[in-house]
Amino acid sequence: MRTIEISTASKPLCDYANEIDEEVIVLTSNQRPIAAIVSLRNVDKESLLLSSNPEFIEIINKARQDFDSGRRLSFDEMKQAVSERS
């Protein structure tokens, strides 16, 4: 990960974007992160949209809490629960 102070950036942002592959460039202002340049070459549109969707993030966080607290289903239990709802 590279960090660039936005006030001292010597190139247009598009030049930095074209340089990255798997790397992340964090842009800072007064040494505080304000944005990031991340390659999307290998990211599909749906993954990108879901990763920033507050409702989806809430679902994931709830599922992680359930898992951490021991609320888990086996694959067969999950299939049965889904078929019972149909």
Q: DSSP string spanning 9-35? A: --S-HHHHHHH-SS-EEEEEETTEEEE
Q: Give the span between the Cα atoms of 64 and 67, in whole angstroms.
A: 5
Closest C-alpha to 3, from 33, 35, 20, 25: 25
Q: Parse the chain into domains and list their residue ranges.
A: 2-38, 45-85
Residue recorded with tokens 């549109």: 45
Q: Give the span between the Cα atoms of 51 and 39, in whole angstroms.
A: 14
Each residue's pLDDT tens digit, 3-46: 999 999 889 888 888 888 888 999 999 999 999 998 888 888 89
Which pTM was predicted? 0.55
